């Protein structure tokens, strides 16, 4: 990694010279065999996958570490270390892919890079300094795990928080470049910077993409970590190992699901800002040549919702006392399946003239109504509410509240969920009777209703089940093996979805490097169709998982021959088929004062 | 034989990705191609040809169809059926063509009740129609229920300035020698046999290039010289007349000199 940092800084120091030379050079060069676009596409997608992973995982790793520190539960400290270990192994690859991407831009798109440098050169230094700070902090955080334990645990946690702050700042800087390409700001008609670089950074889509990516990175990190745990679960030799990775997979999925529930809202915000920046771009994205892409996205998100819920339901089977909630599962399947179908229904279809005549137009007389945003917003909000309900039932699966006000609390919770559902459906139907500009605003009310219901239910649920009576301990490791394939399905689907959304983000610029400012006049100026993009996304996703497997395997080599199979860090804590009455990541009470017993 | 976990997981992941890929390849495939530049200046264009070229612009580079329909009320923009006749009655003293041109260049000037002010200026990026394209598009819209009477001179000369997109493109400096390029035009290249360029030449076989640098980019000219058919034919002129062999007969220096000369024709 140090080599990558040195290479990056060296490259940065010569960038102005490279940029000047580029002005005298051709606008484009051709990458051998596959062409420049595919080369940039592959490396950019791989880089973003790795970057999302190493930025997302530490966010929840440090939260888990804090939980372990404050409660004294060694399991959380072990789990946090496991997560950071995965991140650490991928760090160098991310940096090298980033450097490779930069080489490709400088070498194959020199004119474009010259222009970007003319706007953003000051930020390159900020990026480099942040990168150095992030690297240094993560090194100390990872290698200082044992050194900074016990009374110094607070310092260690502080390093984790600091590394996340640096990581997020890196994300914000890099996002300013990519969002400027979508929605340029702070420049005059000739494309030159008018005043401060801040105006170019703070463009229309910068903050929405910051938020969207930050949340998506957490989801992505959670799914990959859960898939890693699933892989280890399936290959486990002992019940103890199986129990440990069952728990790790559950936590990974819990993290992913928690962030995933709010991701569509961040997506709405981004969509609104794209429309606010340029109506033509927004319409091209949703109703123009890219409209079919959203059908694929609907399928993928449907799979994610169904998969996450299915995993929770399977997980309930290892919780004694959960039987009383199984009757809700068919209803939830029904809502999710119906929502999935609505979301995947296209507005119009490419059909022959005879078919159109038979159908009475290009829009189906009934199903056509399900293809518009009113129906889709309603569907996704109902799916979010249902998924949240799944989580609530899972959470209380083996607990019975002992509070005197439990009846009233339950009623308020159901009323909150019911009211949210009514608001969502009402605005969904009402949206058919108003102009599009008014309709867009309705999605805000729907989102607020859902978020409000989630807030109310959790605000009641947490105190209501505090000190609850247990109906039995969770039998960690006894979950059906097919559940682990669900975790792998979620990781593969979300990675593929990231590739698809990357194509959408880049594709909405169409034949512009920088929208409306710098035209793409290369041989690759055509924006390909969805099938071509899907082929490319799949190839890169396969390469990503192959690299991830290789890196994890390399990281695992250090464990070979170590006592307890956990490397330098403390051996994993014992689970013995379940030790916790609480299926959520609430702690047990085996206080160790923030120090793992094996490490003293 | 026991199948290793890695093989089972790998096969499962490939199956999942394969399913998504198959589905994505099964639905309609739509590419977004960069729009071709239309150049009508200097050519003898009949109203019918102009309307046809305008219809093409309406459907492609203009991206008008994203919001507007003809004979159908749009949710984002008004129905354009009959606009050629309606346009002249909106504002007293304003002709149909003046109304249409103003609507294209300053869309906020004539908002139709019930529709938001969302239309972009068509001669500015990202649509960036050039003067010829605005001319043709106006003719097409006039033809929807009205009479086509728009002339090139009705379109302001400033239209399309910087339409290729500013930024780095505007800084382009061609390395060729314009003086030497003029000699190629009249001599080795043989361009003068078909084209007029200011005071040079008079042949009407191909478009008049006297002001070509005003309406075309160097990229287009370079492409047109090397691949005349691929770069498209100016409306009103027969296709396939311009020879395709300049890539072989001209040296790299000749080529750059010729482009440099053409870019002086303003």
Q: Which residue of B has its CA nearest to A111?
A: B168
Interface residue A278 vs chain B (CB under 8 A):
yes
Interface contact flag, A283 B120, Cβ < 8 Å: no
CA dihedral B120, B121, B123, B129 (to 10 degrees): 40
Rounded to a whole number, what is the distance in Å from the CA of B125 to chain A's nearest CA?
4
Q: In this predicted structure, what is the pLDDT of residue A10?
A: 53
Rounded to a whole number, what is the distance in Å from the CA of B199 to chain A's nearest CA?
32
Is the pLDDT at A58 greater than 50? The verdict is yes
In 3D space, the residue among A175, A40, A187, A180 whose CA is nearest the CA of residue A106 turns out to be A40
| Last residue within a domain, chosen from A409, A439, A473 | A473
Q: In this predicted structure, what is the pLDDT of residue A588?
A: 39
Interface residue A345 vs chain B (CB under 8 A):
no
Kindly state whether residues A57 and A152 are assigned to the same domain. Answer: yes
Q: Which residue of A348, A522, A531, A548 is the best one to mutate when testing the B interface, meaning the one whose CB has the most B CBs within 10 A?
A: A531
Residue range B76-80: average pLDDT? 85
Give the H/E segment covering residue A469. strand A469-470
Kindly state whether residues A55 and A145 are assigned to the same domain. Answer: yes
Is the pLDDT at A598 greater than 80? The verdict is no
Higher pLDDT, A41 or A272: A41
CA dihedral B165, B167, B169, B171 (to 10 degrees): 140
Kindly state whether residues A156 and A59 are assigned to the same domain. Answer: yes
Per-residue model confidence as pLDDT tens digits over A284-330: 787 777 888 988 998 999 999 999 999 999 999 999 989 999 999 99
Q: In this predicted structure, what is the pLDDT of residue A351?
A: 62
Q: In this predicted structure, what is the pLDDT of residue B73?
A: 73
| Last residue within a domain, chosen from A438, A473, A508 | A473
Interface contact flag, A507 B30, Cβ < 8 Å: no
Residues 6+ apart with CB under 8 A from B61: B35, B36, B38, B127, B129, B133
Kindly state whether residues A389 and A510 are assigned to the same domain. Answer: no
Interface contact flag, B168 A114, Cβ < 8 Å: yes
Look at residue A576 and tell me if it is in a domain.
Answer: no
Residues 6+ apart with CB under 8 A from B113: none
Rounded to a whole number, what is the distance in Å from the CA of A296 to chain B's nearest CA?
7
Interface residue A292 vs chain B (CB under 8 A):
yes
Residue range A154-177: average pLDDT? 96
CA distance A260 to B190: 66
Is the pLDDT at A563 greater than 50? The verdict is no
- Residue B98, CA distances (Å) to A597, B101, B139, B140, B159 in order: 85, 5, 11, 14, 14
Look at residue A409 and tell me if it is in a domain.
Answer: yes
Chain B 8-47, CB below 8 Å of chain A: which residues? Answer: 8-9, 12-14, 16-18, 20-21, 23-25, 27-35
Q: State the average pLDDT for chain B.
A: 83
Interface residue B252 vs chain A (CB under 8 A):
no
Is the pLDDT at A565 greater than 50? The verdict is no
Across the interface, of A188, A191, A538, the residue whose CB is closest to B168 is A191
Q: State the average pLDDT for chain A.
A: 85
Interface residue B5 vs chain A (CB under 8 A):
yes
CA distance A362 to A432: 19
CA distance A267 to A211: 9
Interface residue A516 vs chain B (CB under 8 A):
yes
Q: Report how many Cβ contacts below 8 Å link chain A to chain B.
A: 161
**Percent over 70 (pLDDT), chain A:** 86
Interface contact flag, B167 A518, Cβ < 8 Å: yes
Look at residue A26 and tell me if it is in a domain.
Answer: no
Look at residue A152 and tell me if it is in a domain.
Answer: yes
Across the interface, of B31, B120, B165, the residue whose CB is closest to A527 is B31
Residues of B in contact with A514 (CB under 8 A): 167
Number of folded domains that form chain A: 2
Interface contact flag, A284 B66, Cβ < 8 Å: yes
Interface contact flag, A529 B118, Cβ < 8 Å: no
Q: In this predicted structure, what is the pLDDT of residue B148?
A: 92
Is the pLDDT at A264 greater than 60? The verdict is yes
Kindly state whether residues A105 and A143 are assigned to the same domain. Answer: yes
Q: In this predicted structure, what is the pLDDT of residue A566?
A: 44
Residues of B in contact with A281 (CB under 8 A): 126
Q: How far is CA A423 from the centre of its chain?
A: 28
Is the pLDDT at A241 greater than 80? The verdict is yes
| Range with the poorest average pLDDT among A440-449, A583-592, B22-31 | A583-592
Q: In this predicted structure, what is the pLDDT of residue B166?
A: 40
Count CB atoms within 10 A of the CB of residue B65.
15
Interface residue B161 vs chain A (CB under 8 A):
no
| Ranges A272-286, A342-356, A511-525, most confident | A511-525
Interface contact flag, A519 B169, Cβ < 8 Å: yes
Secondary structure letter of residue B27 according to DSSP: S
Domains B47-163 and B178-262 share a fold: yes
Task: List residues bridging with A436 in a β-sheet.
Answer: none
- Tokens found for residue B98: 């003046």
Give the H/E segment covering residue A473. none
- Domain range for A438 is 319-473
Kindly state whether residues A342 and A422 are assigned to the same domain. Answer: yes
- Residue A105, CA distances (Å) to A15, A119, A121, A294 in order: 12, 15, 15, 29
Is the pLDDT at B165 greater than 50? The verdict is no
Per-residue model confidence as pLDDT tens digits over A408-433: 999 999 999 999 999 999 999 998 88
Residues of A in contact with B165 (CB under 8 A): 191, 512, 516-519
Domain map (residue ranges) of chain B: 47-163, 178-262
Q: In this predicted structure, what is the pLDDT of residue A161?
A: 96
Residues 6+ apart with CB under 8 A from A349: A362, A364, B28
Across the interface, of A280, A437, A532, the residue whose CB is closest to B116 is A437
Per-residue model confidence as pLDDT tens digits over B215-262: 667 777 887 888 887 777 776 677 778 888 888 788 888 888 898 888
Is the pLDDT at B105 greater than 80? The verdict is yes
Per-residue model confidence as pLDDT tens digits over B251-265: 888 888 898 888 888
Residues of B in contact with A278 (CB under 8 A): 120, 126
Interface contact flag, B12 A489, Cβ < 8 Å: yes
**Percent over 90 (pLDDT), chain A:** 58
Q: Are A62 and A164 in contact (CB under 8 A)?
A: yes
- Whether ipTM exceeds 0.90: no
Look at residue A223 and tell me if it is in a domain.
Answer: yes
Per-residue model confidence as pLDDT tens digits over A347-367: 766 566 677 677 766 677 777
> Could you tell me the end-to-end alpha-carbon distance of chain A, in angstroms, rounded to an integer?
31
Residues of B in contact with A549 (CB under 8 A): 6
Interface residue A364 vs chain B (CB under 8 A):
no
Kindly state whether residues A215 and A82 are assigned to the same domain. Answer: yes
Kindly state whether residues A206 and A76 are assigned to the same domain. Answer: yes
Residue range A561-579: average pLDDT? 49
Kindly state whether residues A468 and A488 are assigned to the same domain. Answer: no
Kindly state whether residues A440 and A561 are assigned to the same domain. Answer: no
Q: In this predicted structure, what is the pLDDT of residue A552?
A: 79
Q: In this predicted structure, what is the pLDDT of residue A544?
A: 96
Per-residue model confidence as pLDDT tens digits over B3-41: 899 999 999 999 999 999 999 999 888 888 887 777 776
Interface contact flag, A510 B167, Cβ < 8 Å: no
Interface residue A283 vs chain B (CB under 8 A):
yes
Per-residue model confidence as pLDDT tens digits over A335-346: 999 999 988 887
Q: Which residue of B has its CA nearest to A541?
A: B17
| Range with the poorest average pLDDT among A17-21, A72-76, A357-361, A522-526 | A17-21
Rounded to a whole number, what is the distance in Å from the CA of B266 to chain A's nearest CA?
20
Residues of A in contact with B128 (CB under 8 A): 516
Kindly state whether residues A326 and A240 are assigned to the same domain. Answer: no
Q: Which residue of B has its CA nearest to A190?
A: B166
Residues of A in contact with B6 (CB under 8 A): 231, 235, 549
Chain B 184-213, CB below 8 Å of chain A: which residues? Answer: none
Is the pLDDT at A576 greater than 70? The verdict is no
Looking at CATH, the fold of the domain delimited by B47-163 is given as Cytochrome Bc1 Complex; Chain D, domain 2 (1.10.760)
Kindly state whether residues A396 and A294 are assigned to the same domain. Answer: no
Across the interface, of A488, A507, A530, the residue whose CB is closest to B24 is A530
Q: In this predicted structure, what is the pLDDT of residue A422?
A: 97
Residues of B in contact with A492 (CB under 8 A): 13, 16-17
Looking at CATH, the fold of the domain delimited by B178-262 is given as Cytochrome Bc1 Complex; Chain D, domain 2 (1.10.760)
3-state secondary structure B88-139: HHCCCCCCHHHHHHHHHHCHHHHCCCCCCCCCCCCCCCCCCCCHHHHHHHHH
């Amino acid at each position: 990694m140090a080599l990558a940092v040195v290479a990056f800084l060296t490259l940065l120091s010569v960038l102005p010279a490279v940029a000047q030379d580029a002005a005298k050079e051709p606008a484009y060069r051709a990458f051998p065999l596959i062409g420049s676009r595919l080369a940039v596409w592959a490396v950019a997608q791989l880089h973003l996958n790795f970057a999302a992973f190493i930025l997302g995982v530490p966010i929840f790793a440090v939260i888990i570490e804090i939980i372990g520190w404050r409660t004294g539960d060694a399991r959380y400290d072990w789990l946090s270390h496991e997560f950071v270990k995965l991140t650490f192994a991928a760090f160098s690859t991310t940096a090298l892919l980033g450097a490779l991407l930069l080489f490709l831009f400088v070498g194959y798109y020199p004119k474009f890079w010259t222009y970007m440098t003319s706007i953003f050169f000051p930020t390159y230094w900020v990026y480099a300094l942040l990168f150095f700070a992030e690297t240094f902090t993560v090194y100390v955080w990872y290698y200082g795990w044992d050194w900074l334990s016990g009374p110094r645990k607070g310092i260690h946690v502080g390093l984790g928080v600091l590394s996340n702050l640096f990581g997020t700042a890196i994300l914000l800087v890099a996002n300013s470049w990519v969002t400027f390409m979508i929605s340029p700001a702070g420049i005059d008609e000739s494309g030159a910077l008018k005043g401060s670089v801040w105006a170019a950074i703070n463009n229309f889509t910068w903050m929405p993409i910051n938020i969207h990516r930050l949340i998506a990175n957490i989801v992505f990190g959670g799914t990959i970590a859960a898939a890693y745990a699933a892989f280890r679960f399936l290959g486990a030799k002992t019940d103890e190992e199986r129990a440990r990775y069952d728990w790790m997979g559950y936590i990974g999925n819990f993290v992913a699901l928690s962030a995933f529930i709010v991701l569509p809202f961040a997506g709405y915000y981004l969509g609104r800002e794209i429309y606010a920046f340029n109506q033509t771009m927004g319409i091209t994205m949703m109703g123009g040549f890219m409209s079919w892409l959203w059908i694929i996205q609907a399928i993928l998100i449907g799979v994610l919702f169904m998969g996450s819920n299915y995993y929770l339901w399977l997980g309930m089977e290892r919780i004694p006392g959960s039987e009383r909630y199984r009757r809700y599962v068919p209803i939830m399947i029904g809502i999710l399946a119906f929502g999935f179908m609505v979301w995947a229904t296209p507005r119009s279809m490419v059909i022959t003239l005879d078919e159109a005549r038979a159908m009475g137009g290009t829009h189906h007389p009934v199903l056509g109504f399900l293809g518009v945003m009113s129906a889709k917003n309603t569907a996704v909000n109902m799916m979010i509410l249902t998924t949240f309900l799944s989580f609530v039932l899972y959470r209380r699966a083996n607990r019975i509240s002992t509070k005197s006000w439990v009846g009233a609390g339950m009623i308020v919770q159901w009323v909150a969920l019911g009211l949210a559902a009514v608001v969502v459906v009402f605005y969904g139907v009402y949206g058919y009777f108003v102009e599009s500009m008014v309709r867009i605003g309705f999605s805000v009310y729907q989102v607020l209703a859902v978020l409000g219901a989630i807030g109310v239910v959790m605000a009641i649920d947490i105190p209501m089940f505090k000190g609850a009576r247990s109906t039995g301990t969770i039998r960690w490791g006894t979950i059906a093996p097919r559940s682990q394939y669900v975790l792998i399905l979620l990781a593969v689907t979300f990675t593929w979805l990231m590739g698809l959304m990357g194509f959408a983000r880049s594709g909405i610029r169409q034949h512009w490097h920088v929208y409306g400012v710098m035209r793409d006049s290369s041989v690759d100026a055509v924006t390909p169709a969805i099938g071509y993009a899907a082929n490319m996304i799949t190839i890169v996703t396969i390469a990503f998982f192959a690299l991830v497997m290789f890196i994890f395997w390399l990281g695992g080599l250090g464990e070979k021959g170590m006592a307890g199979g956990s490397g330098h860090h403390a051996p994993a804590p014992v689970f013995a088929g379940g030790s916790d009455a609480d299926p959520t990541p609430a702690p047990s009470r085996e206080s160790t004062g923030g120090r793992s017993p094996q490490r003293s | 034989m026991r199948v290793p976990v890695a093989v089972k997981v790998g096969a499962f992941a490939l199956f999942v990705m394969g399913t998504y890929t198959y589905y994505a390849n099964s639905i309609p495939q739509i590419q977004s191609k960069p729009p071709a530049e239309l150049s009508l200046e200097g050519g003898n264009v009949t109203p019918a040809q102009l309307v046809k070229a305008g219809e093409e612009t309406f459907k492609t580079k203009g991206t008008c169809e994203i919001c507007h329909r003809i004979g159908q009320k749009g949710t984002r923009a008004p129905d354009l059926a009959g606009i050629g006749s309606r346009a002249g009655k909106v504002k007293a003293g304003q002709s149909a063509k003046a109304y249409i041109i103003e609507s294209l260049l300053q869309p906020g000037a004539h908002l139709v009740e019930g529709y938001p002010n969302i239309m972009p200026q068509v001669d500015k990026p990202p649509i960036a129609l050039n003067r010829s394209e605005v001319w043709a598009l106006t003719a097409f819209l006039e033809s929807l229920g009205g009479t086509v009477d728009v002339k090139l001179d009705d379109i302001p000369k400033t239209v399309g300035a910087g339409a290729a997109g500013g930024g780095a493109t505007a800084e382009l400096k061609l390395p060729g020698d314009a003086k030497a390029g003029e000699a190629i035009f009249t001599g080795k290249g043989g361009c003068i046999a078909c084209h007029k360029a200011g005071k040079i030449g008079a042949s009407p076989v191909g478009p008049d290039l006297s002001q070509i640098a005003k309406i075309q980019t160097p990229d287009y000219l370079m492409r047109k010289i090397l691949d005349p058919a691929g770069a498209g034919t100016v409306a009103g002129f027969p296709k396939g007349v311009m020879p395709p062999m300049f890539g072989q007969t001209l040296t790299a220096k000749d080529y750059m000199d010729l482009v440099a000369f053409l870019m002086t024709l303003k």
